[in-house]
Chains A and B, each alone.
Chain A
Amino acid sequence: MRSITFTLLLLSGLLTLTSCQDETPVERANREAILLIGNGDEPKGIDPHLVSGVIEGNIIRAIFEGLCVDHPEKNAECLPGVAESWESNEDFTQWTFNLRTNALWSDGAPITAEDFIFSYHRILSPNLGAKYAEMLYYLSNAKEYNQDHKGYIFFKADPKSPLDWQLIKDCNFTGNDKIDISSFKDTAKNDFSSLSSEQKQLYVSHKGLNKLNLKQLKTIQDESIQFDWPTSVTATQREVIIARLMQHAEAGSPDLWDLAHVGVTANTPHTLVINLRGPIPFLPEITKHYTWFPVPKHTVLKFGTIDTPNTGWTRVGNIVSNGAFLLNSWRFNHHIEALKNPHYWDSDTVKLNGIRYLPVKNAYTEARMFYDSQLHKTYTLPPEMIIHSRKVRPEALRQEPYVGVYFLRLNTTRKPLENQKVRLALSAAIDRRLIIDNLLQGGQTPAHAIVPQTEEYTTPKMIHFDATEAQKLMAEAGFPNGEGFTTDLKILTTPKETSIRMAEALQAMWKQHLGINVRIEQREWGTFLTAQQELDYDIAVGGWIGDFLDPTTFLDIWTKGNGNNNTGWSSTEFEDLLNQAEQNADPSERLAILKEAEACILSERPILPLYWYTTNYLLHSSVQGWNPLLLDNHPFKFVELKSN
């Protein structure tokens, strides 16, 4: 017995000696000039073309650099990155970027315009599966290339087209998803020839000419089935179209990049010319997003073709990048480390020696780690810790406006949500101020529109809390005091604590002010998304963070068929206004049209905006150069650590 006690004492004594730290992790990191930041979760990858999240962006921004770079203090200002300077033509449809000649990849190879062309080609490749390719749709013909719109590419983009596009553009190239082929979809995929003529006809019309294979095209050519050609298209034109498509299929469906003439070319190895589909005065702002970053052509091709996903070129040891930092190590659920890049053209400005990203998922653990001096910055801060930090570490608490909106999606294909007055009533019955002050407590701003207010853009003020008006609207809709609502509406939430509490608050408010009952359904993330995509919900919580500082990043998603719409709502008036704005080169006129567009969607109210985000986090006092930025895209090259 005594020997056991003695051994234990000895062990603990030894342990104390060996692991005695006389400095905290933060003190040591300050000494070594390494920034320790919480990054929320394991990133899904760091290939700029294959990811779409904020967590991934935080790492990618440190190890890659685009044409322009974020200013550390001013929103919407562009500093030179790989591009030294840039200019545009009169109506902002063409931009020329002059690349600096001393920009190098981390293996010493020079960065040229060819790398950028390769990168845009890669992210737009139909076969790569880039989830965020639409960020590059501003380039002329980019959307058509990415969506493999063969008809457009062969007969409009290709200058050698034998046909006039205007005459044939109404042909069914892109398919028609109103045609129901679900009963024979699988047979069609595996054994097309076994279908009946009628089924074959339905199938090819559903798919559209762009997606048909050689066998299917043949059946149209030999007229064994009738294709739904527009009557204005002549027999000769039809033959030419089918022949061209078959020629492409017979050749093995080669890459159509060259024929598509997507709007990016190089005049010289260091001059990148970008042609846009319409006037975009803020293009340099967009190039700051990581989807526009260059990837090293020579490295990517070493590990696969241009459109093979997940080849491993981004792994430690393989990766070549051009940013202020280099990927040094990646240990799952431990940390990802990036060290200073000596080949970076501006390495003299970079004061940090490295960054360590800690993927701490549990926000309470993260806050405790910060208090224990293990982190310079937390990724987030749960509501209770916000109050606690205000008392205990007020100097470390940062609450900054963040360009994002939290809202409820409404399924406008379902009764009674298809009734506009019902939607407006639901909106007017929400006391946003109450939710923010009592539930979220993070200094958020109640939303009176969709797009957050910025310096240049004034959002229309169309949303407010008014219980009387809500009741009036509900009565007008035919449900006075909530009578007549045959089934309870269901709010779909994620497993996140705040999301459920939010739903509970809404449930109470709608009961109190409108007399309707609402149920809450919680689903895990994947099922949550699927339910929305399949329009299998009534009301769902949602949020959207802007990708750049322009209202279109919040408005474009509400167009018909956009993968992030999921409300069943669309409006030609709304989309016309968006197109009008896009074609207008005058910045202030353009913003005025966008304001009209926003007013249009708000008057229909397919979504109910609740509040605009405020990012809450803890920041250690030794971190310099970390200023409030609306997009929260802090450029690490300007960050410095000063021990005090």
Chain B
Amino acid sequence: MFRLIISRALQAFAVVFFLFTLTFFAIRAIPGDPLSTDDKSMPEHVKEKIEEYYGLDKPLIVQYGRYVKNVLTGDLGLSTSKPGRTVNEIISQSLPASLLVGIGGITVAVLLGIPMGVLAALRKNSWIDYTSMAVAMIGICIPTFVLGPLLQLWVASKTDWINVAGWDTAADILLPSLTLGVGSAAYLARLTRGGMLEILSQDYIRTAKAKGVPMLPIIVKHTLRGAMMPAVTFLGPAFAAIISGSFIVETIFQVPGMGQHFVNAVTSKDYALLQGLVIFYGFLMAGANLLVDIALLLLNPRLRDAT
């Protein structure tokens, strides 16, 4: 198991390195440059001075080498779209909000999705089953940029204690988390239901029932662990969906997180900020997938032998 973790960590590093190299050259291939994003144009000599300041006048390979060196020492560079600020600063300031919304999203997904899937499996082919799976289908189909404004109109505008947008009261986390988590909750519900049904049809469950074990211990002790596997496998991609969904949700609900920085960095061609965010998200994703793999190993002893 230890070897697995090490090898996966190295793989993660390799993937992130490749990712950021690709981003580095791709963003510079877009026409236009980071310094002329105002409608007032800049005289030539001024532009040259600023390019020099940010190191943009050096040949690409030199810029790349410098950047890699800085990243290895933890310096992610200066932002061009937010003059005078470092990328480290911008990321650390916006991380808490994104983290909270992301955790909120995953919590919603898990707390909504898994119980719904379990219930549907236990009451298979009843109205509970059909309704919950239909709701799940709707949840998968509605995009966040439709669900968000709908929640704003139907929930926030009609209640006093939930704001339409912003990040000032504790309640402000509710709607963004809900918007983010619902899609993943729906997937989790269907996957959990499927996993449950598969396990429930196994012989050893029938044996337990025949032996007279009550329903609740059967579910909790014997079924859940196996049923969770498809769901846990999905948590990795769910995490990805939540992160990328967060960009839209943060714009709709004015959450001061990293998602908005990502979008702004692309439109204003802030190379350093974009690269810093790519590295950060890359490691986040790799880390999340690693955790999922470890969780699967813990859940399923059969996998441990295979490694």
Are A365 and B152 in contact, with the CB atoms below 8 A?
Answer: yes
- Which of chain A's residues have a CB closer than 8 A to the CB of B252? 362, 365
Given known contacts A15-B171, A332-B93, A527 and B32 CB-to-CB distance under 8 angstroms? yes
Contact between A310 and B83, CB atoms less than 8 A apart: yes
In the bound assembly, the distance between CA atoms of A372 and B81 in angstroms comes to 32
CA of A368 to CA of B154 in the docked complex: distance in angstroms? 11
Whether A372 pairs with B40 at a CB distance below 8 angstroms is no
Complex Cα gap A314–B84 (Å): 9
Of A19-27, A161-169, A377-385, A452-460, the stretch lying at the interface with chain B is A19-27
Contacts of A211 in B (CB 8 A): 45
Contact indicator B115/A372 (Cβ below 8 Å): no
Bound complex: CA A385 to CA B165 (Å): 17
A52-B38, A128-B46 known; 6 other A-B pairs, CB under 8 Å? A44-B38, A126-B46, A332-B261, A368-B153, A527-B30, A530-B32
The residues of B with any CB-CB pair to A shorter than 8 Å are: 30-34, 36-43, 45-47, 49-50, 53, 81-84, 90, 93-94, 97, 111, 115, 119, 149, 152-153, 156-157, 160-161, 163-171, 174, 250-257, 260-261, 264, 267-269
Q: Is the CB of B31 within 8 A of A129?
A: no
> Assuming the A-B contacts A315-B84, A333-B260, A369-B164, are A533 and B269 also in contact, with contact meaning beta carbons closer than 8 angstroms in the complex?
no
A533-B36 in contact (CB<8A):
yes
The residue that A334 contacts in the complex, of B156, B167, B171, with Cβ under 8 A, is: B167
Residues of B contacting A52 in the complex (Cβ-Cβ under 8 angstroms): 38, 40
Which residues of chain A are within 8 angstroms of B253 by Cβ–Cβ distance? Answer: 365
Collect the chain A residues with CB atoms within 8 Å of residue B160's CB. Answer: 20-22, 24
Docked complex Cα distance between A339 and B153 (Å)? 32
Q: How far is the CB of B233 from chain A (nearest CB, A)?
A: 23
Q: A15-B174, A147-B43, A525-B37 are in contact. Are A371 and B167 (CB under 8 A)?
A: no
Residues of chain A lying within 8 A (CB to CB) of residue B81:
44
Asked if A65 CB lies within 8 Å of chain B CBs, one says no
Interface flags, A533-550, vs B, CB<8A=1, else 0: 100000000000000000
Measured between beta carbons, the chain A residues less than 8 angstroms from B31 are 527, 530
Give chain A residues whose Cβ lies under 8 Å from the Cβ of B111. 8
Given contacts A311-B84, A533-B36, contact A368 B169 (CB under 8 A): no
Does A131 have its Cβ within 8 Å of any Cβ on chain B? yes
Chain A residues whose C-beta falls within 8 Å of the C-beta of B168 in the assembled complex: 25
How long is the Cα–Cα vector from A524 to B265 in the complex, in angstroms? 13
Give the contacting residue for B171; candidates A4, A19, A333, A566; CB below 8 A.
Answer: A19
The answer to whether B261 touches A148, judged by C-beta atoms less than 8 angstroms apart, is no
Question: Which of B40, B97, B161, B269 touches A132 (beta carbons < 8 Å)?
Answer: B40
Q: Taking CB as reference atom, which chain B residue is nearest A563?
A: B41
Residues of B contacting A334 with CB < 8 Å? 97, 167, 254, 256
* A365–B165 touching, CB < 8 Å: yes
> Which B residues are CB-close (under 8 A) to A371?
157, 164
Residues from chain B with a CB closer than 8 A to the CB of A566 are 41
CA distance A360 to B163 in the complex (A): 14
Is A108 in contact with chain B by the CB < 8 A criterion?
no
Across the interface, do B49 and A129 meet the contact criterion of CB distance under 8 Å? yes
Contact A21 B32 (CB under 8 A): no
Q: Across the interface, name the chain B residue whose C-beta is closest to A14.
A: B170
Q: Which residues on B sit within 8 Å (CB–CB) of A369? A: 163-166, 254
Contact across chains for B164 and A372 when beta carbons are under 8 A apart: yes
Q: How far is the CB of A291 from chain B (nearest CB, A)?
A: 11
Which chain B residue has the least Cβ–Cβ distance from A533?
B41
Shortest C-beta distance, A556 to chain B (Å), equals 13
Q: Does A13 contact B (CB under 8 A)?
A: no
Given known contacts A312-B84, A365-B164, A332 and B90 CB-to-CB distance under 8 angstroms:
yes
